[in-house]
Amino acid sequence: MRYILFDLDGTLTDSKEGILKSAQYALEKLGIQPPPLAEMNWVVGPPIRQSFAERYGLSPEDALKGLRFYQERFGQVGYLENRVYKGVPEMLDELKRSGCRMAVATSKPAYYAQRILQHFGLDGYFDYVSGSEMDGTNGKKPQVIARALKELAAQIEKTAMVGDRSYDMKGAREFGVYAVGAGYGYGEPGELHGAGAEIIAASPAELTEILRRERK
């Protein structure tokens, strides 16, 4: 592949702890009893504001309040409750040295995505970071993919979208790019295949080999 778009959470970093604890904090501030962490996988993937609205039937105004509460905690400590998956730096280094142009395509606000990449020393691998605005707008996966494709001036037949959730695979299929699943992330059993993944990697090392090859 010549152009590669990566999801962030569950693909490059294991960020679930910070996301879920910040979501619990936000729900409590809204007066909603949050479920246990083990039952909150629905938070990871789509925009937080969208998740709150759909899950609890919140008005747009209350969903925005929830997002702001989430950001109160996430911006202080949540983004640091995170770790880079083993093998990811080596993967990015190899792909960069082989001439790939890479971007992050995440529903997370671009501001936070950039802070996380900088914190872990990964920012230098990426030509562009495509994420949502701080108020959660422009964060649906097709929107962030579209911006990344435009910024990279990517050729569709030479582009891969890598992610761990159905939103990533559906977004890839919408644009006709190679839908590559990160099977080590947060997807439920069968989720990636069901959403149209063309191939699934069990580890960043396996992902490296897949991305170095041409699309089958």
* Active-site amino acid positions: 7
Question: Facing residues of 28 across strands?
Answer: none
Question: Facing residues of 128 across strands?
Answer: 103
Q: How would DSSP label each residue in 102-169?
A: EEEEEEEEHHHHHHHHHHTT-GGG-SEEEEE-TTSTT-SHHHHHHHHHHHHT--GGGEEEEESSHHHH
Residue type for position 105: A
Q: How far apart are CA 212 and CA 54, in angstroms?
A: 38
Q: How far apart are CA 13 and CA 44, in angstroms?
A: 12
Give the Cα-Cα-Cα angle 22, 76, 9 (nearest 5 degrees).
Answer: 55
